[in-house]
Amino acid sequence: MTNSQSIIQNLNSAVAIIGAGAWGKALATLARTNAHDVRLFSRRGCQTLVETIHGANIILSAVSMKGVRDVVSQLKSLSISPQTIFVTATKGLDPETTCTPSQIWQENFPNNPVVVLCGPNLSKEITQELPAATVVASNIESAAQSVQLVFNSTRFRVYTNSDPLGVELGGTLKNVIAIAAGVCDGLQLGTNAKAALVTRGLTEMVRIGVHWGAKQETFYGLSGLGDLLATCNSALSRNYQVGYQLAEGKTLTQILSHLQETAEGVNTTEVLVQRAKQQNISMPITTGVYRLLKAEVTPRQALLDLMKRDIKPEYNY
């Protein structure tokens, strides 16, 4: 029996979750509700990383993008079975390499299955036990199915997907558009403008995602369009709040100093602009958000720059 055929776990899995922020805690609660043995690691906690992962069938990372390589480095020094499934629930891009979190995990653990967990999942709503859905994606179907069994419930529906890169990019790229959506609402530009912005934002996500190697249809699923709609329409979104408060006249430094957790869209915007320039990919909304974050333009000027662009067909068939 091959490694990929023997991965599906027993009904009760041992799950180690690294990262005790709101998202990590919400995922821990979901797994515990399904009667799994869950250990939650925090740098401020009393349990060591070695103790947390001991005997774990699944190791899930819910740390911010800037903490991914540090966690990977620590785990590489430990003895981990090739049967252990790594799950990444981080949304971001590495500023040095533009790699996604799953690419970093797979590069460092080439013999282990890696699963991406992503969807329209505002952690506060999940903590309130409101219904939600998500996607778990992997190149190894049985690994995705194992993770699906751990988290699926009557209030948290989990779908599998065979395009981990697309699922991951959907959840990552939408954060940039969410900043723009926050600006749109902060300026009180109305429903028409918001609809146009989100729709054209999705077009940008598809454009660079497909160029990256993802499947186009993935971006019209839960981790793409679904996550985009949730993040662009909720004040619970940290990225939306960044844009909204920029429109109110606050500086980026002021905004970030008061956020309780990381707004990954800020870093993602910079990495995305860098990659788009290298590949000569048109990303007008992303570029506008980048210039706004760098204080090169005001929110009103960023809007005017978008509206003044040369007219063109909606799609190049």
Separation between Cα atoms, residue 14 and residue 56, nearest integer Å: 5
Separation between Cα atoms, residue 96 and residue 88, nearest integer Å: 19
**Which residues contact residue 281 at a Cβ distance below 8 angstroms, ignoring those fewer than 6 apart?**
207, 208, 211, 275
**Which residues contact residue 209 at a Cβ distance below 8 angstroms, ignoring those fewer than 6 apart?**
166, 169, 170, 173, 216, 218, 219, 224
**Which residues contact residue 303 at a Cβ distance below 8 angstroms, ignoring those fewer than 6 apart?**
183, 187, 189, 288
**Which residues contact residue 92 at a Cβ distance below 8 angstroms, ignoring those fewer than 6 apart?**
64, 65, 66, 68, 101, 172, 264, 267, 268
CA 64 to each of CA 2, 20, 91, 147: distance values in angstroms, whole numbers, following the listed order: 33, 11, 8, 21
Separation between Cα atoms, residue 159 and residue 120, nearest integer Å: 12
Separation between Cα atoms, residue 116 and residue 163, nearest integer Å: 9
Q: How many CA atoms lie within 13 Å of 166's alpha carbon, on the beta-carbon side?
A: 24
Spot the catalytic one: 91, 174, 250, 308. 174
Would you call 174 a catalytic residue per the annotation?
yes
In the DSSP assignment, the letter for residue 218 is G
> How many residues belong to the chain?
317
- Both tokens of 235, joined, read 């004040």
Q: Active-site residue numbers? A: 174
